[in-house]
Every structure is written in C-alpha cells, then in structure tokens.
Amino acid sequence: MYGGITVLVPVFSAVATLLASVPGANAAPASQCYNWKNVRIGGGGGFVPSIVFNPGEKGVAYARTDIGGAYKLNSDDTWTPLTDFATGTDWNKWYVDGLATDPVDTSRVYLLTGAYTNSWDPNNGAILASNDYGATFTTSTLPFKVGGNMPGRGMGERLAVDPNNGSILFMGARSGNGLYKSTDYGSTWTKVTSFPNPGTFIPDPTDTDGLNGDIIGISFVTFDSTSGSLGTATPRIFVGVAEKDSESVFVSNDGGSTWTAVAGQPTGYLPHKGVLSPKENVLYLTYTDGAGPYDGTAGYVYKYNISAESWTNISPENSTFGYGGIDIDLQKPGTVMVAALNEWWPDANMWRSTDSGATWSPIWDWSYPVLNRYFGYDISSAPWLQDPNSGEDYRKLVGWMIEGLSIDPFDSNHFLYGTGATVYGSKNLLGWDTAHNFTLQSLATGIEETSIQGLVAPPTGPKLISAVGDITGFVHNDLDVAPTIGFKNPYWATSLDLDYAGNKPYSIVRVGSDGSGETKQIAVSSDYGVTWTEHEGAPDYTNGGKVALSADGNTVLWRTGSGNVLVSTGANTTFSDVSSLQPSSVIAADKKNDTIFYGASGSSFYISLDSGATFAVASTYTSSTSNPVKIVANPLTSGDVWVSSDIGLFHSTDFGATFSAISTVTRGYQFALGAPPTTDGYPAIYLVGTVDGSVGVFRSDDTGVTWYKINDDAHGFGSPDSVPVAADQNTYGRVYLGTNGRGIFYGDASCTV
C-alpha cells in the first residue's frame, strides 16, 4: 500500500511489447454540438495595434490584433471576435497587419492578414473581405507574405478604401513588394508599378532571418476625400513609407497613376501614421526613429497643410521616445490627440490639442517626485491590469506600445486606444478640455488575446489554473469573471507550464521563461496557485520547458527549455541531472503513486520508480517512428497512462509495459482526461488531433473506441499544435482549450448524442 493505493509494479524490459490496436470505425466521427465561450481573463491581454471607426455609420468600429484576429465593437462597449474560424490550415488569419472600412457602404470591412515574412513561415498573406460587418469573409490570397506579428505592425493603416469609390482599395506591402491596388472590392490586386519607393528600412540588417531582418515597407495609405466626389475615384492619395535615407511621404493627384514625394517633408525618421483632417485640409503625421512597437527613442509630430503645401513641427515635446497613435475629432476640427509610442517610465504620455497642435495639454505631468495624473482610472472589468501593491514606480496606467488611437467620429466624448495589454478609452473625454480631467477605462471586454502556454484543472479547488504568455497566469475560480490578480512572488512575464499533485491537488508547480537570472524559474504553491514561493533549489539562468509534480507534491521533474531533464525531491532541494532520460523527453507524473514518473522520447516509453532519479525503458509504445507530444496519467488509477504523438494515440494499463494503439487516431496533439460520463466510469478523453481523417477537437467516452467531434466551423482554435488542453474532473463534458492568441475557451455539450 502507498498513499492508500495498492500498486502492482510490473517487471520492465527494454524489449517492446505492443498489443493489438483497438478497433475503430473508418467513417468520419459523428459531431456533437458544443457551446464554446472564452474563459474570461478580461482586458485583452495582448497588443492591439489599431482601432478603426467607420466614419459613415455611428457605432461601427473594429480592432485588429497581432496574434488574435479582429474584433467588432458592440453597442455595450464589448467586442465580438470575427476570425475564430481559423484552423491549422489558415492559422495566419489571426495575424492582422491592416484593417479598412468603407465609409459609404458601411457593411464592408477588409483585413490584411498574415503572420511572418521570414523564410520559416511558408504562407502567403491574404485579404479577407466582408460585406456584412465581418459576419462572413471571402479570402483572396496574395502573391507575397504579410507580417501581422512583425516589427512595424502598429503602423498604418496599410490598407484603405477609397472614400468616394468603394470598389477601389490600396494596400501597402512589406518586404519591398510595394503598393497594390484593387478595383473589385479586394478580390484581385495589381501592383502599382509607378510608385517610386517601396521602402528600404530594416530594423536590424544583421538579423538575416529573424523578426528584425526584413524591409518594413509601406506604413500607411490615406485618401484625401475632399479632393474628389462621390462615385468617382479619389484623386489625392498619401502614402507613407518606412524610409530614413530619403523622402518617406508620397502623394498622387491622379488616383494613383503617378506619384511624387511631398515637397519640404522631414527626413531621417519613419512615418507611422497619417491622419487626414478634411475640414482643415491638413494631414497629421507621427514619426519615430524605430519601427515599433517596442523601440523608438526619438520622434516628431508634424502637420502638412495641403492647400499651402507647408509642413509644421507640432511635437508636444522634444522627446526621448517616438510618437505613435494619433487621431483628430471629426466633430471638432482642430482637436488632435497623440500618444507616445514607448515612454517606458514613469508611464506613456498622451497629449490633446484643441488648436491644431499649436498648444497641448498632457494626460499627466511631473511636480517631481509627484506624478500629476489628470484622469480617473477604472479597471473594474479587468482588475489584474494593476497590482495595487506594486508601488507608484510600476503603475503604468496609460500603458505602452500605443499605436492605435481613435476618436469616435460621432461622439467627441468617446475614444479608444490599444496598448500592449488592453484597450483603454473614455466615455467623457471632453472633460479633458473643461476640467483637465476625465475617466480612463479598460474597454476591452470580449477581447481575449492571450497566448496560453499551459492549463490544469485540479479535481478540487478552482475550476482552472492557467500559464500565460506575457501576463504570467491566473487562478480561475469563476470562468465568467476576470481574475483580480495574476501570479506574483515570483512574477515572470511568461509562465510556460503547470502541474498539480494528484493526491494533494492544492500543490502546484509552475515554470517561467525569464533567463535573466534575477529569480529562480520554478515556483511552488500550496494553495492552488493563490500564493507562490520560489524553488530555491532551481539552478540560476535555467528556464522554460515542462514540469511534472509527483502525486504527493514531494518531487518536481523538470525538462528545461534547453532539453535537459532535472529532478528535485523535497522542499527547495537542489535539482540534479537525470541522465537516464533522453534530452527533450516528454514527461509526466503518475497521479496516484508519489514515486512514479513517466517519460517518452521517440518511440520509447520510460518509467521511473524512484521519484525521477533514474529512468528505464518500459516498452516501445509503437513500432513506427514517432515524436511524442504529451503523456497523460489517469487521475483515478495508478499505472493507467496515455501517450499522444504525431502518428496517433496510445494507451497502457500496466505502467507502460504494453500499449494499445487507438487505430482511428492518426495524429495526436494535446489531450486530457476529465469527468467520466457515468459514476465510477472511465474518464472522458478530449483530444486535439486527427480522427478518421478529420482534424479537430474530439471526445471519447469509451477509452477511444468511439469519438465525437466537438468543434464546429465557427471555432477552429487556430493552429492545433499550440492548443493546451485540460478537462474538468467534476463536470462531465467540459473541456478547456488554450490558444495562441485567442485566450482560453471552455466548451460544454449543448445537445445529446
């Protein structure tokens, strides 16, 4: 007896024993309808490069994100996702590098999508066109790549609809591909060969195949609606280019047939935004010395008087930062707002002018050491955005990475802007002018843009615990309420994995990705993740990877980011190398026996009977070449263990001595075991993978004999190999899916099968 469980330990041999495959049907799996909702983190949780209001219809606005698709604003200030249909075949549609709306035919909206322009992204970009406010889209594939998550993604907009003739669009490309034009609502595109300069600026020419090693290209396209009349092509178009060595703003006065550099323009900086004030006949521009969104140490704000053909420097300050977001109030000509792109300390600043930039008032200023903030602050919809105990020096209330700033064209009191973490805005903006005070709110409800790295659903305690990129992670007691605070002490920007102790579920371990050496990158909790303690036995400058926690919480097994496997038994005991387990192995702990761990590498399955100190090959779980993805131990039974791999799903009931292949599964990614369909039944299995030729999310209630597909065409969850899975152990049918850009979903069956 050990921990109340009788364990029959088999004799292991390096000689594989593989049982016959479990028989399965050849027909595609039946579908079961599921209701999918986001686990609410709130606040967005990621970078929102741009927000675009439609100037032709009140209340129509959209936000684009760098990894989480596009959203439409609702009348109650919430947001609806538009691109959740993306799957593993078109995952790059979640990366939006440009967005345009039609100010006349206001139901039309267009997205410029694509992830990376590097050689390691094989996918060309696409234009998604909708004529029903984003409810549905048609796709036109482009002949080049698009960089929705590349440097310069906050510039824009690169995509624009002719305000006088909506069938015409112009698009600025990256990588030196130049300017393109469509005359059929974005269905087909032709290169504008007369455009003189596609841009030469590369953030870091030495980063030859990295994120910073490509040409940024065209930064914005802006039509001058006043130069034409409705029904005909707009003659005057301005185009900004990421160029430092020569002119960077060009104009056409014949609808894009010919182009010239705008005379008298500043040089040496990159134009990020170009916004037209039609009643003033002025183009307002922001400039920065970097592509953004992270860099920028100097910049300017200029206005160009189109009639007088004159430039004026209207910068609020001689900055040590660049300028990013800018917009004008269409209801109040001469009212302009502009934001610092990156003013990292003490906070990003923002300025407002009511006299066309002659004078400015800031959102905050110094009476050193006091920071005078001229706004109230409301983050009740996402309390975790600020830690009340962090201290004034760390309270960045205005934000950072501010490129998308937009004033509602129908409501001067309403504006929105994106940051690296949320969408802020106000419904009483005019208070800035009258009382030099207004209320700044997080207005991102519905935007869930986090990159989920790991999930666990313990059998007791909170419903879910998450490891999250950039914003560390959370304990989710209520799936529909935003957490009040994220993981602290230690705080790492990104937590990469979690595990709980099977017999003591309140014991949790997590691993971080901070390689600075300032904190140990293993932390443990004894209260379901509410509070944490650094594991003092973790080596410095070691981070990342995956973790497994023994059933009683005594031992941590850690496959580090570099692939080495380490183990620590006892509180704060120094980690030691596990040389008997192959580097980069997949690891897991038995959920009932505190001394047993599992590993998999290639086609070999390993077991440790001495708390991870040594491992031996228990079997070959498949006779074919295989790359294992995940090991899941049955939370109810010791020795009952599953392995997913790039060739299938495999099951053992004897500690890995023998395995059965689930014949209907030909590819397995992440998976989990959850509450059984009947009392004392076998846990339900939830799998992201390929079953009988169908790719998706599946559930089996009979150990893999029968499968039901539980996702639909509206919920593709992006790339399947980046979807962490956890299953509720108390509610049958409930599964949790993490995504790379759309946060966490939870699904419940909404019909019977």
SS3 assignment, position 475: strand
Residue 462, CB half-sphere, CA atoms under 13 Å: how many? 24
Alpha-carbon torsion, ordered 32, 649, 5, 730, to 10 deg: -20
CA distance from start to end of the chain = 41
DSSP bridge pairs for 36:
747
Give CA 731 to chain center in angstroms. 28
Cα separation, 141 vs 124, whole angstroms: 7
Do the Cβ atoms of 628 and 638 come closer than 8 Å? Answer: no
Give the angle 394-396-401 at the CA atoms, nearest 5°.
125
Instruction: Report the side by side order of strands in the sheet with 648-652.
Output: 17-18, 658-661, 648-652, 641-645, 628-633
Instruction: Return the H-helix or E-strand segment holding 142.
Output: none
Q: How would DSSP label each residue in 666-713?
A: EEEEEEEEE--SSTT-PPEEEEEEEETTEEEEEEESSTTSS-EE---T
Helix (H) or strand (E) holding 129: strand 126-130
Burial 435-473 (b: 16+ CB within 10 A, else e): eeebebbbbbbbbbbbbbbbbbbbeebbbbbbbbbebbb
Residue whose C-alpha is closest to residue 419's, from 437, 396, 435, 439: 396
The closest of 190, 166, 171, 172 to 101, measured between CA atoms, is 166
Q: Which residues are catalytic?
A: 66, 470
CA dihedral 540, 458, 672, 68 (to 10 degrees): -70
The answer to whether 503 and 592 have CB atoms below 8 angstroms apart is yes
Q: Where are the beta strands (DSSP E) in 168-269?
A: 169-172, 179-182, 190-191, 218-223, 237-241, 249-252, 260-261
How many Cβ atoms sit within 10 Å of the Cβ of residue 289? 17
Using alpha carbons only, give the angle 707, 712, 715 rounded to the nearest 5 degrees: 120
Rounded to a whole number, what is the largest CA-CA distance in the chain? Answer: 90
Give the closest residue to 294 by CA, choosing from 6, 81, 47. 47
Distance in angstroms (rounded) separating the CA atoms of residues 125 and 142: 5
Q: Which of 313, 237, 326, 310 is nearest to 275 (CA)?
A: 326
